[in-house]
Each structure stands twice: as structure tokens, then as C-alpha cells.
Chains A and B, each alone.
Chain A
Amino acid sequence: DVKVTQSSRYLVKRTGEKVFLECVQDMDHENMFWYRQDPGLGLRLIYFSYDVKMKEKGDIPEGYSVSREKKERFSLILESASTNQTSMYLCASYSGYRLEQYFGPGTRLTVT
């Protein structure tokens, strides 16, 4: 079974802190994604990566950056956390063969 793990289930940070969210997949997938999930808005794509060191902006990249140094790991970085970044963050990797995105359990981030 594909496994996508995220470094924390719950995280509380202060405004202005630099925040790292880590995601690891074990299926050698090339494509990985970061979404944020907010009530009534569904999932919105922040960034995605289609290969090591390759990245593309999604629909809401402002205030975020990403890093993909190894194929299995995709990190989301909040350079200076703000209260409007309080949200659930979901990581996913994509199997082109099965035409399916596999999701991690999510990190609920609270910025105070």
C-alpha cells in the first residue's frame, strides 16, 4: 500500500515564526502536492512538484514556499506565519499508473 506521511498531526505556532511541514511518500512517485483545506472552500492547491528540485505554483502560493531535494520528500515552508494561514494542510503524491492521488492524514496548523 502507498503510504504518505506528514511530520505532525497538530501544530501551534506564533505569528512571524518560520514553519516547516514535511511530507514523505514511499512509492517513488514523481508528482507531489500541497493543499490547504478550509471549510466551505474545499481543497486549494498551494504548490506542486513533478520532479526533484522542480516546482510549480498552484492557486494560492502567496506566503508559502516549497522544497524538494529528494524524490520521496516534499516540504512546505511558511516563511513568516500569519493567523490567516491557520488551516488543515494536506500532502499528496500521484500515481500516473493508477490515476490516483494518495493523501497524507493532514497537519492542522494553528497560528496564534
Chain B
Amino acid sequence: GDSVTQMEGPVTLSEEAFLTINCTYTATGYPSLFWYVQYPGEGLQLLLKATKADDKGSNKGFEATYRKETTSFHLEKGSVQVSDSAVYFCALKLAQGAQKLVFGQGTRLTINP
């Protein structure tokens, strides 16, 4: 079935470090791909998305590129801040059928000053 696999957490980095959170997916057809972020005590909010192969989504200094050949959508940021501490979820939506998302298990990120 359709699924999303994220790198295991938790991830702890120092401020200004480079961040990569890996995400790979299994799906039929051409899904849309998303990164959602959940700050402490809040619901999820969309961070970025890509709807077709080779698209790059970007927001708040974060980037992710839709790689069809490796079925991946890795999240990257060049210089993280303490305020980036949160849980990050990778997700996909199938092109056909119901408008539901399939989520990865989430990666907790902690940035130390």
C-alpha cells in the first residue's frame, strides 16, 4: 500500500547547523508530497509542498525536491535556529481518489543554542 518513511528521530543539532530529514515514499501513480510542522502545543501546519517530479517546495528557509527516480522528498535547511525545534511530518496525497493524506511517523527536531 501507499506509505511514507521518515528518518528516525529524535534529531538534535546546534544552532546554525545544516539540517536534513530524509523522507521516502511508496505510492502508485504521481502523488503530491508535503512537509508539515508541529510546534509544541499546536496542531500541524503546512511547511511546503511539491506536486510533480523535480518540483522544489520552499518556505522559511526550508527546501525539499520531489525526486521521482529515488521516490524521495528530503527536507533541508542550511542554518537552523532554536525556533525550528518542532516535530516534522512528511506526507503524500494520491493523485486519484479521496483527498486524504498518508503521513510518516514524524521526526522530532531539537535545536540547541
Contacts and interface: CB of A to CB of B under 8 A. Distances in A.
Interface of A: 4, 31, 33, 35, 40-45, 48, 50, 56, 58, 90, 92, 94, 96, 99-101, 103-106
A43 B87 CA distance: 12
A42 B89 CA distance: 8
B100 A33 contact: yes
Interface in B39-55: 41-46, 49, 51
Contact of B44 (A41, A90, A94): A90
B101 interface: yes
A94 B101 CA distance: 10
A94 B100 CA distance: 9
Range of interface residues on B (Cβ < 8 Å): 20 to 34
Contacts of A4: 43
Contact of B100 (A41, A48, A100): A48
B94 to A, nearest CB: 12
Given A96-B99, A100-B49, A42 B43 contact: no
B49 A99 contact: yes
B45 A103 contact: yes
A48 B98 contact: yes
B73 interface: no
A68 to B, nearest CB: 15
In the A-B complex, the 6 residue pairs with the smallest Cβ-Cβ separation, listed nearest first, are A103-B43, A42-B105, A43-B103, A42-B103, A103-B44, A105-B43
